[in-house]
Chains A and B, each alone.
Chain A
């Protein structure tokens, strides 16, 4: 099995995801340049963190027109697992694969720190290895991670179990403390925290391993 990692010119966590998957978990990876269209042979696709095309307009607003993302959409529609981390989550909302939007943090600052999260895995296959209500710690590093959605829509998301990761102490003003969201199929997951930064004992905790390793199971 091989996992594809999308690379925009401004992606900067693409190699970190590769290190976590291949270096720490022995899962082979293939980089997908933003102009590529060949997703053959991939078991899953990760949209990594970074600044896609600079994100001067709105995070992910330009990225969604990338050729590779047309294929990623098709891949997702056919039931392929897709994981969007940080900027990748922003891109998934711009693509409409996940509802809502991510805006500037409440205090307007970029925040790099660890965050405690409550997991409600529901049907999300990426989180199948975590217990319901389990608390884990993952790093966050974003300037625009404040999840925004209409109250009725948020209620609908809550009701259908889409809010799978929630901040215990909301750092950025996200509606409903949303840190991660899955689609109704449970195959698409977008989250602001960085699981790939919690897979290696030398550099941090290990709470991200089960998320990325879920592809093995």
Chain B
């Protein structure tokens, strides 16, 4: 029986609350053949939000390459799955929890971790690693310090307790993230079931089983909330932030994996954004069947909840299964053993509807396809040419920099600045500096498979040893590498090049450990697409991501889109974030004995630069435009990022991986923020060894040599014993892989760089390390009261 047909509520007010337009409402009425009731309208509100249906970004996401020989599951399921060979398969995905973290950093970040883990184990994979990409406003502002402390503590709370190591990540700072921090969490999992568990409902009459935690009023309307901009009033939306229970999730992981192995579960969907509404309609729509859900049987945390509240609750640690008929009792017993709720709450219907019963009546009845298929698309006009302000930035050239010389440094208005001091300023930039304060709060070793500790290499490496069953007690020789990257300054100044660079850098980071890049999960964090610039940024970034993923043979297996990341300032203006397309990439390490770190290993080793050589003046693949140097030392966020040469990236990275596999390379580190000088400093800091370099004399400015960014570049150190084999490999590669000998690793703990016989900089490694390690802690001490002793 269809519910009442005359709205008993104010439609305009309800539409506003659900973030729907009048056009959406008309379409809902058309699809239902009648006006929706309040609960139904709420279901459409969440299902048609950007968070759930990508209504702004979908036309752009279609261009991503999504298939390849190793891709087993691409976009559309809870997570992507790649084939690692030897019978092993890896599930992985990234997801944002930006808006909740802005309002309640601890729980917002914690539940972000919980949510991404569920995406992984819902597929039948045991989570084996977590990474995160974080963005905050400058630490000089106490509020940003509070946000960072809360977010990091929240991630630590959840990840540490649930027993999944947090093995890597990135943290960057910019004023644009002040009111709107970014919290992206990525998880990796190793499949433990023979069949990948999918979400489409199967088998008319099969019971629908609810497991996990109870349903309460927390997290009401989180998906809609996540799809609107933040204001001061957003703080009143704290009830839209959920509360996580990692202990419960730990049991849920174990019980779910046991249940999937039993073969009794025929479909599974976690309850994340939009809770029961989303899981029921996705399962029904994907299976081409229907689901009947009886709310009276849903384990509730509190009494008196309305149908609307049940359907829209985002209480955490819940899953919905379709179970083989007759197997529900033993299945539910597994969950009760772990102290979890388990109840039959419905059944699979032939008819393609989501029917919701409460108190013996139909509380909502919506065709599943009406909710989940052909969801509305917001069409936007793409600017014909780049926005005027960007074009103005692109006119910047090195000629605007103050005069400089090799020995005299920079002639700044305030007086001369030596190159050593310029390097120290960069190492003191929290975006570049050591993130030890952050990662020491994360258990990065639990599960006993962490091969590279944070800070040890350009990417995390986890051994592929199963936690359970066959192979758990056998020595494993292969690993998986993972990284998250986004040069948001570049993206802000050229979204297409910046997005390409994000992919290129992620692949380079994996290659530096020796891993072969396999696939990408992307998290598109952007401001509102409703402005011409906002949509242009999104469109150009998607174009760059697509081109780079195709060129580097790393298909996209899914991800997350987070729009409306902007803050309404008290004066009414909007502060948009830097567009931040975070690229999460996974790679395969064929032989763990060859995993390569970024630290020098031995004095006397030769230091080589691969990629676009120094002194290629005028080469637009390399430059100071949009560089960290320009921003940190000169206070200018301007210029155009360099061209990204994807073909060169592919060749350099491929060469490096072969050299690592052949045992020719002792260390490898990519050049990123701060260019050559920062990469050298990091290799010194990580090892305690020094380096002595003689750079070629030439016409280009010394700062271009030291701090330029771009150019598919990386540093390697090569042992004298391997010199001949290394030279032979280079000779074979020829001009396709430019390489330049720059200097030697030294036992003396100093970084010494000269050029054409003139000194550029000379610093003790201890001083480099102090600056690099203290940048974040010293700002935290200044901003807040000292911790309680």
Residues of A in contact with B (beta carbons under 8 Å apart): 9-10, 12-13, 15-16, 18-20, 22-23, 49-51, 53-56, 106-113, 139, 141, 143, 173, 194, 196-197, 200, 202-204
Contacts and interface: CB of A to CB of B under 8 A. Distances in A.
Nearest to A29: B473
18 contacts: A9-B251, A13-B446, A18-B473, A19-B465, A23-B473, A23-B475, A51-B246, A51-B250, A107-B787, A109-B156, A110-B156, A110-B441, A112-B440, A112-B441, A141-B160, A141-B445, A143-B156, A143-B160
Contacts of A19: 448, 465, 472-473
Nearest to A19: B448
Nearest to B592: A202
Given A110-B156, A203-B451, A12 B446 contact: yes
B442 interface: yes
Q: Which 10 A-B pairs rank lowest in CB-CB distance, beginning with the nearest? A: A12-B163, A54-B247, A16-B448, A141-B443, A23-B473, A51-B161, A110-B441, A107-B787, A110-B156, A10-B247
Contacts of A50: 163
B463 A54 contact: no
Contacts of A108: 787-788
B444 interface: yes
Interface residues of B, number: 40
A63 B295 CA distance: 35
Contacts, number: 101
Contacts of A200: 448
A112 B443 contact: yes
Given A15-B467, A110-B156, A110-B441, A141 B247 contact: no
A10 B161 contact: yes
A113 B161 contact: no
B448 A20 contact: yes
B467 A12 contact: no
A106 B788 CA distance: 7
Nearest to B465: A19
A164 to B, nearest CB: 23
B615 interface: no
Contacts of A139: 445
A22 B474 CA distance: 10
Given A10-B247, A22-B473, A204 B445 contact: yes
Interface of B: 153, 156-157, 160-163, 245-248, 250-251, 338-339, 439-451, 463, 465, 467-468, 472-475, 592, 787-789
A12 B475 CA distance: 20
Contact of B338 (A9, A13, A112): A9
Contacts of A16: 446-448
A107 to B, nearest CB: 5
A188 to B, nearest CB: 24
A56 B250 CA distance: 14
A100 B473 CA distance: 36
Nearest to A107: B787
Given A22-B473, A51-B247, 4 more contacts: A54-B248, A106-B787, A108-B787, A202-B463
**Residue picked from A22, A23, A107, A203, most chain B C-beta under 10 Å:** A203
Contact of B449 (A51, A109, A111, A203): A203
Contacts of A110: 153, 156-157, 160, 441-443
**Residue picked from A55, A106, A113, most chain B C-beta under 10 Å:** A113
Contacts of B250: 9-10, 12, 51
Given A15-B472, A107-B787, A203 B338 contact: no
B440 A203 contact: no
Nearest to A16: B448
A55 to B, nearest CB: 8
A54 B587 CA distance: 34
A194 B592 CA distance: 23
A166 B680 CA distance: 37
A63 to B, nearest CB: 12
Nearest to B161: A51
A9 B247 contact: yes
Nearest to A35: B337
Nearest to A9: B251
A150 B444 CA distance: 33
A7 to B, nearest CB: 10
Contacts of A13: 163, 446
A110 B438 CA distance: 10
Contacts of A141: 160, 443, 445-446
Contact of A106 (B248, B251, B447, B789): B789
Contacts of B444: 112
A19 B734 CA distance: 47
Contacts of A194: 445
A112 B448 CA distance: 14
A202 B156 contact: no
B451 A111 contact: no
Contact of A9 (B153, B339, B439, B788): B339
Contacts of B443: 110, 112, 141
B163 A203 contact: no
A211 B440 CA distance: 25
Contact of A54 (B245, B465, B787): B245
B781 to A, nearest CB: 11
Contacts of A106: 787, 789
A196 B448 contact: yes
Contacts of A20: 448
A208 to B, nearest CB: 11
B396 to A, nearest CB: 42
A8 B132 CA distance: 28
A59 to B, nearest CB: 11
Contacts of B439: 112
Contacts of A22: 473
Given A9-B250, A10-B247, A203-B463, A111 B161 contact: no
Contact of A112 (B163, B442, B467, B473): B442
Contacts of B248: 54
Contacts of B156: 109-110, 143
A54 B440 contact: no
B317 to A, nearest CB: 12
A139 B165 CA distance: 14
Nearest to A108: B787
Nearest to B247: A54
A54 B161 contact: yes
A67 B195 CA distance: 37
Given A9-B339, A22-B473, A197 B445 contact: yes
A110 to B, nearest CB: 5
Contacts of A204: 445
A15 B246 CA distance: 18
A32 B69 CA distance: 43
A173 B162 CA distance: 26
A113 B787 contact: no
Nearest to A200: B448
Nearest to B789: A106
Contacts of A12: 161-163, 250, 446
Contact of A15 (B153, B447, B475): B447
A89 B787 CA distance: 26
Contacts of A197: 445, 448
Nearest to A106: B789
Given A54-B247, A197-B448, A113 B440 contact: yes
**Residue picked from A23, A112, A139, A194, most chain B C-beta under 10 Å:** A112
A107 B472 CA distance: 37
Nearest to A17: B448
Contacts of B450: 203
Contacts of A112: 160, 439-445
Nearest to B442: A112
Nearest to A20: B448
A203 B160 contact: no
A109 B441 contact: yes
Contacts of B162: 12
B486 to A, nearest CB: 25
A50 B472 CA distance: 19
Given A15-B467, A110-B160, A203 B445 contact: yes
Nearest to A199: B448
